């Protein structure tokens, strides 16, 4: 069974995107993917949250993050997933401020922009999420592909031609 981790701002009410979180959970679960979504859990101690969330990032097959607004916790979760070589799907609203170049330059990510949450559902349903791998697309530079049949295909531009990623 495939496991996903949902990352997004939680503690600052004005940064929360509960409609986005719900769409992610509903869409992934409809595909048979188990989603760990800390946004919907009861409050816990800082130590418990850290231990639990790190463990869940380690166990996931890929991470989905909402990055329209900066969040230290989201950044930590993204970095851990990258270090563990887990595919990271980043979503940000088109109207959002610029995204950190540190995040943009990371290997193992694919960035999607959306105008409304319906766009997120369409994007996720167009990807074979159970077969995500890290590969660099020679055409668009994305680092995530999925396997279609027996061939890797970029999840951003659908290009099937790749250059190999060097070992990190």
The string of pLDDT tens digits covering residues 123-141 is 999 999 999 999 888 888 8
What pLDDT shows up at residue 168?
A: 35
| CA–CA gap between residue 34 and residue 114 (Å, rounded) | 23
83: number of Cβ within 10 Å:
12
- pLDDT, tens digit, for every residue of 37-71? 999 998 899 999 999 999 999 999 999 999 998 88
CA–CA distance, 139 with 120 (Å, rounded to integer):
23
What is d(CA 8, CA 67) in angstroms, rounded to the nearest whole number? 7
pTM assigned to the model: 0.91
Instruction: Give backbone dihedrals phi and psi of 98, rounded to 5 degrees, phi first.
Output: -60, 150
Distances (CA, A) of 131 to 3, 62, 91, 147: 12, 10, 19, 6
Q: Is the pLDDT of residue 93 over 90?
A: yes
Domain 3-128 class in CATH: alpha beta
């Amino acid at each position: 069974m495939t496991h996903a981790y949902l990352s997004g701002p939680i503690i600052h009410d004005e940064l929360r995107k509960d409609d986005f979180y719900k769409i992610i959970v509903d869409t992934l679960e409809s595909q048979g993917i188990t989603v760990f979504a800390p946004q919907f859990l009861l409050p816990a101690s800082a130590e418990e949250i850290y231990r639990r969330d790190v463990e869940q990032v380690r166990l996931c097959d890929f991470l989905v993050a909402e990055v329209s607004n900066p969040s230290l916790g989201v950044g930590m979760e993204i970095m851990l997933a990258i270090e563990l070589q887990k595919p990271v799907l980043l979503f940000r609203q088109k109207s959002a401020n610029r995204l950190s170049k540190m995040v943009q330059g990371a290997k193992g990510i694919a960035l999607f922009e959306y105008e409304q949450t319906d766009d997120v559902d369409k994007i996720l349903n167009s990807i074979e999420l159970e077969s995500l791998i890290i590969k660099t697309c020679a055409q668009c530079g994305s680092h995530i592909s999925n396997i279609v049949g027996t061939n890797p295909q970029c999840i951003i531009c659908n290009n099937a031609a790749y250059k190999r990623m060097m070992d990190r």
